[in-house]
Chain A
Amino acid sequence: MVAWRTGSILVVLLLAVAALTAGAADARHRPASTSVGVGAREYRFAAYRTSAPTGVVRFNLANYGEDGHDLVVETAGGRELARTGEVRAGRRATLRLRLAAGAYRLVCDLADHEARGMRTSFRVTR
């Protein structure tokens, strides 16, 4: 009886360790964030990925234009969530933030750049 109990406890412990190990392995191999390349030029934004799963999203902005631009992430309703500073021509910047499922807008709010076309939509899905 004692031996059976000891064996049962051992099996439970082994299963728990296995589950923890598997969890750790999953966590190790799960991407920590989703990267989204974004190209900016006068007066366009191109997001090379138009959606991402919920979680941390890393926007990698490259300015291919001749003027300075920035990247502002907004909710569909226009509430600002995060922004880069102004990124000069030929430079790059990264914007990293956690996003819940929903629709978002990427815009450049320098001068009249958004009105001239520097806006695009982005979706986050479960």
Chain B
Amino acid sequence: MSAVGVAQAAEAVAVEPAPPAAQAARRRRARRGRARRRHGRRRAHARRRAQRPPAGSASWTEAHVRRLFWRAGFGATPAEARRWAKRGKAATLDWVVNGPAGGAQLRGPEPRVEHRALDPLNEWGDDVLWWLDRMIRTTYPLQEKLTLFWHDHFATSDQETPLMLAQNRMLRRRALGSFRDLLGEVTRDPAMQLFLSLADSTKDAPNENYARELMELFTLGKGYSEQDVREAARALTGFTADWHDDGTVTISYDPDEHDDGVKTLLGRRGRLGVDDVLDVVCAHPRHAPFLVDKLWSFFVATPPTRATVRALVATYRASGLRVKPLVRAILEHPQLYRNLDAPDLVKCPVVYVAGALRTTGSHIVEGYPTWLLSTMGQYPFHPPSVAGWDWGPAWMSSNSMRQRFTLGNYIVNYARPRVRRGGAPATLTPQEAYELAWRAVGEPHVSAATRRTLTHLAARFFDDLDPAWRDKADWRGEALQATLRHLLITCPDSQLH
């Protein structure tokens, strides 16, 4: 029967006056309802007070924690927001940047798909689920977030699964260390070597692909010439791909295939080899501002001032080109915490999916999220080109938004926030219904306008029902909860962080 049909049937039945006992029961329910509403209002007020950013910037609130945890990871659970708001900014940043003592761990149930453990090498999509699971369960989210950053920065695609997984582990291991060491490993990484044809680039036929991207996309952005590209390509010759009978490959270095002649690269002259090239580009004056700008725009939506760039460049150089001090300086910058009530950085699909699952206490129990990522436009291990993905508002295409709504359906029906039978009586006040839904989806940031809209929706949701039938219409209360939870997961506020 349709909702309208049920309402009409209810009206037809509810014409008889209720007996005295029923009226007394109704009065008792009304009293209980009023008390519950008062209690709910008090709790909501206290919660809003806790969320409200301070007038000055000195204090540290749950709103600050949420902003930091989204930018540096995949969102904060309600318990994390409360715990780290109490501990203060310095302690929170220490934990976020350094991770737990003893390194990252995965907490919570192991991922399973169709009653089996993940098989990232052999099952399509399991490689993506394996990484997504790490983002959801890790105790060191910044490490995973930077692994994602480097996967985009050193974008590699269309390579065999074992090579891509090995590269992913390397990026994670080097994510917050020395940039020069990371660049050295990336240069020798088999997936990258094959992707940009550095493997089998010989002195007789130097391939310029890697040399060009090394300067354009990985270290400098600009400030080099075509002659520099050719000279770097000569200096990078000598790597060979050794294929084995089982189809695996190792990269080795053959000095006989290396061009050991004199080259001139970015003003430095000599018999330059592979590490000389990497040293020259990392020491170039353009490198530090280039990486500062790239990392800043990954974490902060508004551009940095010149003074901020100068300070961050100084921090990066003084640390010996280490990533961690630079990232910490960005994460503690006041600009990251501006407009806590109006988030302005678009969540990329990976962050949106991993964050929605993590903050709602959900886990990988089937392969569906991996296919959603594919249709949202960000399929890990398959960036569209060596330049990586287009970030920012480009993520908000109409098709991507449709898939984000589909994720909301999935979470509301199959993940932890699904509505349990009997868990959402229709007699809840609009405010109570909203609060119940908000708590169920991990207490996300919600603007005042969205909160008003959703509370209004809850207030009008039962308009077609006779009030006398309200306490017998729990299925409608559950439908309201599913609707509110879905909208909280997919509303405009949830697309930003």
Contact = CB atoms under 8 A, between A and B. Distances in A.
Nearest to A40: B247
Nearest to B245: A120
B158 A90 contact: yes
Contacts of A98: none
A36 B116 contact: no
Contact of B247 (A46, A60, A90): A46
A92 to B, nearest CB: 7
A31 B116 contact: yes
A117 B241 CA distance: 15
B247 A47 contact: yes
B110 interface: no
Contacts of A44: 243, 247
B306 interface: no
A45 interface: yes
A49 B247 contact: no
B151 to A, nearest CB: 18
A28 interface: yes
A45 B247 contact: yes
B116 A39 contact: no
A39 B159 CA distance: 9
Interface stretch (B120-128, B420-428, B485-493): B120-128
B115 A120 contact: no
Contact of A120 (B123, B160, B162, B246): B246
Interface in B241-267: 243, 245-248
A90 to B, nearest CB: 7
User: Main SS of the interface on chain A?
Assistant: strand
Interface size range of chain B in the complex: 10 to 19
Contacts, number: 48
A44 B247 CA distance: 6
B110 to A, nearest CB: 14
Interface string A4-46: 0000000000000000000000001101000111010100111
Choose among B116, B246, B247, B248 the residue with the greatest number of A CB atoms under 10 Å from its CB.
B247
Contact of A49 (B122, B158, B243, B245): B122
Contacts of A48: 121-122, 161-162
A45 B159 CA distance: 13
B249 to A, nearest CB: 8
A45 B247 CA distance: 5
A46 B246 contact: yes
Given A44-B247, A46-B248, 5 more contacts: A41-B160, A46-B160, A47-B246, A62-B161, A92-B124
Interface of A: 28-29, 31, 35-37, 39, 41, 44-50, 60, 62, 64, 90, 92, 117, 120
12 contacts: A29-B115, A31-B116, A35-B122, A37-B123, A39-B247, A45-B247, A46-B247, A48-B121, A48-B161, A62-B161, A92-B124, A120-B245
